[in-house]
Structure 1
């Protein structure tokens, strides 16, 4: 009878630790690839949008 109580106590003790396991965390979303990148140069923006002048893409340049 004494060994039965010991085995029962051991099983209950081990199950109590198994129930405390934390679920796995969800994966983090990927970072945005352009985060912290330099802005696009006016000439490159002109080529992408197909305009003849880069003036609208360079607001700091006044002539």
Structure 2
């Protein structure tokens, strides 16, 4: 049905189409660094220990006197 030359050209055409249709895609991932968490205030008990005090009452926010 096909001659040798026609079969060879058809084969080369198919091979060329198959090889050129391969798409290689390089994907890059962008890593975003998150912001550090905001610093929390020291708990009254820890502040008491750091200051060497006997009571944490003076370090508790609800126990401090308002200054006018």
- Taking structure 1 as the reference length, the TM-score comes to 0.46
Decide which structure has the larger Cα Rg and report it.
2
